[in-house]
Structures are given as C-alpha cells and as structure tokens.
Structure 1
Amino acid sequence: MTAPTTSGLAAALAKVQAELPEIDRDRTVTVETKKGDPYSYSYVTLAHLSKTILPLLAKHGLAFAAMPGAGSDGKMCVRYTLMHESGESLSGEFPISGEGGIQMIGGRITYARRYCLAALVGVAADEDDESRLSEDGRPATAQRAAARPRQQQPPAPAEEGQTAQRAQRPARPAAQPPLPGEQPAKLSDSQRGMLMGQFTKLGIEDRTARLRTMTTLLGRQVESANDLTRAEASDLINVLAAALESDDPRTVLLEALAAAAAAAGGEGQ
C-alpha cells in the first residue's frame, strides 16, 4: 500500500517554519508547593498562539482545524487536521477524558487544541509547565518532552505502541480510572501546589471559599483538599486553568460554578 503523498504540504510547512517568529509566552503562573516553595512556569495561550500562527499558515496555503469527537478507539478525543490547498492533509487524534461537566471538558479541549497546533507547526509553547515536581515537592531537574498528538498511522508493534501512547499524553493528563477493587489514587503534591496557586491567582485565598468552589465543581462534598483523587484534582486544575486563560477569569469561573450547580440540580430531579 502506497502512503499518501504530502510533498506540497511538507514544502509549505517548511516555509512556515522558516518564517516562524519568536512567540512570547504571554501567561505566567506562580504556584506554591506543599512545603511552601514557590515555582513558576510560563506558556503561550491558545489565543496568542492562534493569532500568531494561523495567518502564517494561511499565507502558505495551509489551514488548521481541530474539533472534539470520538476517536478510532471509540473514546473521546480532539481530532486535528493540517490541510494544504493542494488537497493534501495531515490528521490525527489527541485523546482527552470525557468525564466531568462541560466546563471541565472544555478546558481539556482548549489544551488539546493548543498542544496540537504547537506540535504540528513546531512551536515551543510551554516552559516550566513541561516539568513535574518530584515527590518531595521540589521542581524536577529534567523536563518532559512536549506532548505529541497521536497521528493516524498503521498499527505499530505492541511494544512500540505502548511507548508512543505514553509519550502522547497531554501535559496535564487526567488520571486513569482505578481497576476493580483498586482505590483511586490521591492527588499528588504537584497537583496540590498547582490548585493552591490557581486559587491564589483567582483571588480565592479563604479556605472555606476554596472548599465550596471544589464542592460545587465536583458535585460532591469536599471537606479537605486531601480528600481529592488524582482524577478530581486534574479536572479542577483544567477548569481553573481555562478561567485563568480567559480575559475575565472570575466571570468564567462563576459561569463554570453556575453550570455545575445547574447540572447537579438536574441530576437530583
């Protein structure tokens, strides 16, 4: 079977990469670890990345599209396509979790769109958020490789496929559901630090207000951040990050809270 020709697309993308400007990371977040050691990371927001890259793609006959849907494995993903005016295209899937409310899923979609666009074009969109904290709460010395969307290629051997799957995880992946009889993993120190930093950025520094916010967004009573599972913490981080990326973080967060409360009310009827 002959692989589809993408010579026109490749040539156009090469021109785009030759003209890529230096893209300033327009958002910096400072968080505090459990031990009180602050650290920060910076990244390019989707709005800034799109404003810079999409006109350059169009200049060379390229267009980028990404939309949520079901992947080839039947699970939720963001399907992305880089198209060339010749009709050639490069497409793939970026797996995301479909759990949680619409705001949580929306946050994951935003991240997936940003990572897919950056990965396809070859832009370094992130800085320190590509590193994880070590178990003792200190920044890890090694940085993770940027998330790579999975492209639709012929099935790889089992061992290679498993390695690729690990490399394709988003920068802030949702924890996998526990196996039958297994207890859900508790949130990590890095997740705790991230959450506390995001709440501080949003001006929510009162413990009661934070717990009330987490309770509403998750749809269950949260007595302490220690009660959160890793999956719940990941969902909360995505919602708060989506709010912080917006032009009006507090309004976006209030809308998320209202949507979560309405959903909870509907389930109770």
Structure 2
Amino acid sequence: YKLMKRFTKPFNFLLIIITLGAFTACDKNNNVALFSVQNDIELGQQVSAEIENDPNFDLMSRSEYPEAYNYLDDMVNEILNSGEVAYRQEFAWDVTLVKNDSTLNAFAAPGGYIYVYTGLIKYLDNADDLAGVIGHEIAHADLRHTSRNLQRQYGVSILLSIILGNDASKLEQIAGQIAGTLAGLEFSKEFEEEADAKSVVYLADTKYACNGAASFFVKLEEQGQTGGPEFLSTHPNPGNRVADINAKADEVGCDTTPIGGDGYAQFKADLP
C-alpha cells in the first residue's frame, strides 16, 4: 500500500511490479533478494576500498605479518571448505587483521570481506573460540545479511535505481556509510541467530569444536560483559546464545570437544 501511494499512475505502479519480478528471486540460501550476487560483490569491493583508505582502520599488511596470516588463512579456509558455504566460489573471502587491542570486534562486509581486530584475538582463549566467531561472520556474508538489510532500510525505489544502473553514486554513498560507521553491519536478532546456527553447521566437519562460539559467550558472562563487545551490541544476551548454539550442536550431532593448543598461543604472540 505504501508503495502504491508513491506511484499515483497505474502504469508506473505496474512497471514497478514487472521490474521487481524480473530482478527478485530466491538465492542459494532460499532468501528473497532484490540485490543480485553481483551487487553484493560490487558493494563489498567498494566497502573494502573505503576501509583500506580510512586512517581509522590500522590494517596489518600480509607481508609484515606472514605467520599470523598463515594461521588465520588456514582457519578461514577450513571453514570455507566445509561444503556448507553457499557462495564459496562467488565471494572473495578475503580476511584482514585490524591492529587495535582496545576493540573487541570482528565484522564481514558483503562479498566475503572479513575483518578481525587484534583485541578480539587476544581476548579469546583458544582456536575454537575464534573459529566460532569467524564462522559467525562468514555466515553474515554468505547469508547476505547486509544486502537484505539494505532492502529494509532504503526501500524498493532506491534499490531499483541502483540495480538498473541509474544511480551508481548511491551505491558508493552506501559503501562509504557502511565503512565509516559499520552501521550497515548491525543486524537484527533474527539475523544474529541465523549466523550463530550457521557457524555450528560450518564447523561441524572441521577440526574445531562446532559450538566454538558458545565458549566465547560463556567467557563474556563470567566476566560480567552482558552487553558484549562492539560487534555484539544488537545481539541477544550471551546466556541465551550459549543455550541456542549448544542446542544447534545437539541437533546437528557434531563434535564439541576443544582441539586444544593448535598453535593459538603462538598465533597471538605473532601479533604486534
């Protein structure tokens, strides 16, 4: 009804309906997506470029910290190669370390660009914890949560103008806003629960405890951090998430045994 009010002429409204039908389809995860996968890829590239040029992000170079990146890449690739990541081949899946020990954060931009803060890595106790968080962030990108957020935030007409190539500057503007404030990466309770559940599924056939994210939230509760780190600001409280993650692990029937050392202490030592 709201959309109809914006298009007073029946012909214009009919044109919008026809155009929506042409561009809207279920994606690989059976979600209705107005943005195409290529739109996700292009938006992710622009967000990544914005972050790379933003002095507020102290990005660690691969050439300067090869050991740390080797460890992180091995973890990310094992999760990606689980066979459960729908857009394994289409998205970039590029992981970058952010030098900031005072920030407990990790986030994933559209198209598989993942950023992990050193503060989060040093806060976590073992590889299973980090694998659980990274699985969660991979899920946000793979489930296309950012573009699904944009559909709700900007509405049909603006997104159609971008998709049809009539407003390229708007896509750049959106990318800049996402990179500058990370506001476009704040997700609903529904999306956070989806990402938690997918993290368990991703880790089920890896060497990591499939409920790795749960032990992270246990630590948050033990330390009284009910609000959690920055990237959890809109999430359900840690206690509920622990129960939900463990319930998903029981449903999947996957191994929840921690892998132990696995070089995680050395990985942390390799960070500045």
Structure having the higher helix fraction is 2
Identify the structure with bigger relative contact order (alpha carbons < 8 Å, sequence gap 6+).
2
Higher strand fraction (1 or 2): 1
Q: TM-score, normalised by structure 1?
A: 0.31
Using structure 2 for the length normalisation, give the TM-score: 0.31
